[in-house]
Structure 1
Amino acid sequence: MSLAIMFILLAVLLVCGAPVAVALAGSSLVYLIIAGMPPISMLHNMINGVNSFPLLAVPFFIMAGHLMNTGGITVRIFNFARALVGWLPGGLGHVNVGASVIFAGMSGAAVADAGGLGNVEIKAMRDAGYETGFAVGITAASSTIGPIIPPSLPLVLYGVIAQVSIGQLFLAGVVPGLLMAVALMAMVAWYSHRRNYPRDRAFSLSGLGTASKDAFLPMMTPVIIIGGISTGLFTPTEAAVAAVAYSLVLGLAVYRTLTIRHLLRVTMDTVETTAAIMLIVGAAAVFAWILTANQSAQHLGNFVLGFTDNKYLIIFMMMVLVLIVGCFMETIAAITILVPVLLPIAHTVGIDPVHLGIIVILNLMLGLLTPPVGMVLYVLSRVSGVRFEECVKATAPFLIPLLIVLFLLAFIPQLSLALPQLLYR
């Protein structure tokens, strides 16, 4: 009964628009009081939930993304992508996707991609005569590549909760991220053929060379991160620190686009974002602890396995569950709550936890493109000046290629497991 009240209260708070951390912590506190447990145990579990060395990577990856945005790195990346694929029909649509792939190796967050590159991309596409809806839709869809291609904040959190190698998770995201890019570029090509969208510019080796030179140092960021982790030079947490140090060198010494005022603003933005994430992680840790204490994962597992023991049907059921939750709950909270529930079921039917991580994160990224939460849509609505409802309508067609990739990854595990198995033999 107490557990039912907790879930009902959580749903009511979320529907009423309460912050996710408040909804999770408030419903958990009510459960503890009804169950006659000391409220102080809530604080203990919140502290234990954030007391993790790998979680130190979160503020550093956030700061690296902010530094890249503030230091003008996004413009260099966009110009390189423009020189590389702008000659294709519907050129700026392809540039949009290509820039997101490159920026994904630096920020690790969809909202950072949408906020940083979105302003540049949408303005350029509007100026070139593209429909605003098309520009918003492809920008929103391509931003979901950010948390799949390493580094990835959601994958860091998943690795901490599931106790899975973050290095393997990062490598597992490379091929899926590239598949997402290919699928979205195919969608752009189809739109371009139907609407006769123009090429952005003729291909030029000299132009590509100039753009490559300007963007070479920023594009070394993912090389440093992935190379350092895969060779054992540093851990994912240390890689986040290296990314910040490298971003500071680029902004302060190489390009000289960062000032003390910029650094103060970046630091404050990082603190604010990190504090919000950690509050959610801490509150969700209490919620997950209550579910674990009530053996909710075991009960759900027994129910699912009593219904079917078919591995692929169970994967499909998981996908539907995560997709629904992702539509209503913020990514960080959803990961913290869902993973302890899904992981035992995955172990029982032989689903690799690394494979599960990619499926869960990509599912939740689709939630960023759907109401009522849809954080990416809210960001792009503000950036583009387009109403939220119109952003939803514009983005909907681009969910099709992403769903196709999701199903391919879910039912062909080697697409995500081949690279980590090769390098972590």
Structure 2
Amino acid sequence: MIILFLLVSLFILILFSVPVSFSIGLSSFLLFVSEKSLPLWVLTQRIFAGLDSFVILAVPLFILTGELMNECKITDKLIDACYALVGHVRGSLAQVNVLVSMIFAGISGSSQADTAGIGSVLIPAMIKKGYSRDFTVAVTCASSTMGVVIPPSITAVVYAASVNISVGTLFLGGIIPGILIAASQMAICYYYAVKYDYPREESYPIKERIAIISKAALPLLTPLIIIGGIIGGVFTATEAAAIAVVYSLLLAFIVYRNITLKQLWQILIRTGKMSSVALFCVGTSTIFSYIMAYYNVTDMLGSFITSISTSPVLFLMFIVGFFIVIGTFMDATPAIIVFAPIIAPIGESLGLNPIQLGVIVIVTLALGLITPPYGLCLMLAAQIGEISIEKAFKATFVFIIALLLVIMLLVLFPKLILFIPTKFAPNLM
């Protein structure tokens, strides 16, 4: 009854459009007030404990890296480099959209930053070249889902901190799934380009291609520094985030020299605002997770699931379905902190690798970014493209199907996730 009260109060608050982090905090507070066995001082103690983590420190640092790179106008350099690579392919602007999103994901770690930064440049450009608004918006928001999958991913940092696994290993586990998502989206773009006769851009000579790509070489080193350092055991994921910030500052003030101290102050303010939202979600969600643990929800749910089936594949199917529903109205951060500590021990008892489970949860929650009513990336892209959410969602549906197929591949073939971590970082497994 107590857990039912907690869940009902949470969903009622969400239905009344109370922000999810506040809904979680308020429903938890109501339970603490009504339940005498839970002293109120535990409420504040758990919030602090949720934020008192060296791993969580990576979140604001990766946000700051993305903001610095955005302000350096690296999006333009990445777009030019991708033009040089795939400009000769039919529907090349759509292909560039996906390719830039994949690369940008390795720099910012945020899907929302991807949609806003790339969408503001490529959506008007694609419409001008004759691409339909619906398709343009769909490609932009769908490709931005790679931001939470391809390392460095802020969502992966939160998941690793929630279940106490290696962030670096989880980063590595997201590489092949991210490439699969990009490949499926590029295939869809090519099909639509042929069907609707979308244009191809000019083809560059080899020397000119190399010259254009070399201009984007320094920003492209960011994900290589992060992943390479983690694989080599040179630094942890949090230390990698700090090094990425220093590298971004060097690019901004020494190489490109296109950021002033006034702009840096504004970047720090924006980073502080975005970080406070993310960390507030972490803090309030930690209370919710504590309540679940206090009332042994993990044990009860584990017993219930294993009484039905002990098949790891069926369990993963259940997890996928569950997080598809959760992702439609809840951001990935609170969803992970609330539910990951519950499902992780169950998955471990069934013999699942925690990295496989983590990547599948993260990829599944990426669907929530492009599905209403939450659909933050869908709404951002629709706003930039000046179309309704309904039209945008209808056009995005084919990309949702493709993402679901990728998720099914990850469920059935765990080596797609585990190959790179096992090969390059067996000491972290």
- Residues in 2 aligned to 1:118 and 1:319: alpha-carbon distance in whole angstroms: 28
Partner of 2:254: 253
Unmatched 5+ residue regions in structure 2? none
Post-superposition CA distance 1:240-283 (Å, at most 9, x none): 01111111111111111111221111101100011011111110
Answering whether residue 265 of structure 2 is matched by residue 264 of structure 1, we say: yes
Answering whether residue 359 of structure 2 is matched by residue 348 of structure 1, we say: no
Partner of 1:30: 30
Partner of 1:14: 14
Q: Which moved more, 1:119-128 or 1:60-69?
A: 119-128
Assess if the C-alpha contact under 8 Å between 1:2 and 1:34 holds in 2. Answer: no
Matches within 5 A, 1:131-210: 131-210=132-211
Q: CA deviation at 1:385?
A: 2.3
Post-superposition CA distance 1:307-350 (Å, at most 9, x none): 11122111101110011101111110001011011111101111
Partner of 1:412: 413
- Residues in 2 aligned to 1:207 and 1:116: alpha-carbon distance in whole angstroms: 26
- Residues in 2 aligned to 1:402 and 1:2: alpha-carbon distance in whole angstroms: 37
Q: CA deviation at 1:394?
A: 2.1
Assess if the C-alpha contact under 8 Å between 1:149 and 1:173 holds in 2. Answer: yes
- Residues in 1 aligned to 2:359 and 2:50: alpha-carbon distance in whole angstroms: 22
- Residues in 2 aligned to 1:261 and 1:383: alpha-carbon distance in whole angstroms: 27
- Residues in 2 aligned to 1:394 and 1:250: alpha-carbon distance in whole angstroms: 38
- Residues in 2 aligned to 1:286 and 1:367: alpha-carbon distance in whole angstroms: 23
Partner of 1:42: 43
Partner of 2:276: 275
Q: CA deviation at 1:290?
A: 0.2
Runs of 4+ in 1 over 4 A off after TM superposition: none
Post-superposition CA distance 1:354-374 (Å, at most 9, x none): 011110000000111101111
- Residues in 2 aligned to 1:46 and 1:308: alpha-carbon distance in whole angstroms: 36
- Residues in 1 aligned to 2:118 and 2:174: alpha-carbon distance in whole angstroms: 21
Partner of 1:4: 4
Post-superposition CA distance 1:166-214 (Å, at most 9, x none): 1111111111111111111111111112111111222432331221121
- Residues in 1 aligned to 2:40 and 2:86: alpha-carbon distance in whole angstroms: 57
Q: CA deviation at 1:378?
A: 1.9
The 3-state SS of whatever aligns with 2:273 is helix
- Residues in 1 aligned to 2:382 and 2:169: alpha-carbon distance in whole angstroms: 35
Partner of 1:217: 218
Partner of 2:237: 236
TM-score w.r.t. the length of structure 1 is 0.98
Provide the aligned C-alpha RMSD in A.
Answer: 1.0
- Residues in 1 aligned to 2:308 and 2:78: alpha-carbon distance in whole angstroms: 49
Q: CA deviation at 1:384?
A: 2.3
- Residues in 2 aligned to 1:264 and 1:271: alpha-carbon distance in whole angstroms: 11
The 3-state SS of whatever aligns with 1:53 is coil
- Residues in 1 aligned to 2:419 and 2:152: alpha-carbon distance in whole angstroms: 18
- Residues in 2 aligned to 1:82 and 1:68: alpha-carbon distance in whole angstroms: 19
1:144 partner letter: T
2:293 partner letter: T
The 3-state SS of whatever aligns with 1:368 is helix
Q: CA deviation at 1:53?
A: 0.4
- Residues in 1 aligned to 2:150 and 2:124: alpha-carbon distance in whole angstroms: 25
Partner of 2:376: 375
Q: CA deviation at 1:424?
A: 2.2
Taking every aligned residue pair, what percent have the same amino acid on both sides?
37
- Residues in 1 aligned to 2:357 and 2:311: alpha-carbon distance in whole angstroms: 16
The 3-state SS of whatever aligns with 2:222 is helix
The 3-state SS of whatever aligns with 2:371 is coil
1:25 partner letter: G
Q: CA deviation at 1:235?
A: 0.8
1:14 partner letter: I
Answering whether residue 126 of structure 2 is matched by residue 125 of structure 1, we say: yes
The 3-state SS of whatever aligns with 2:259 is coil
Unmatched 5+ residue regions in structure 1? none
- Residues in 2 aligned to 1:46 and 1:389: alpha-carbon distance in whole angstroms: 38
1:27 partner letter: S
Assess if the C-alpha contact under 8 Å between 1:32 and 1:39 holds in 2. Answer: yes
Post-superposition CA distance 1:376-418 (Å, at most 9, x none): 1122133222222222222122112111111101110000101
The number of equivalent residue pairs is 425
Partner of 1:103: 104
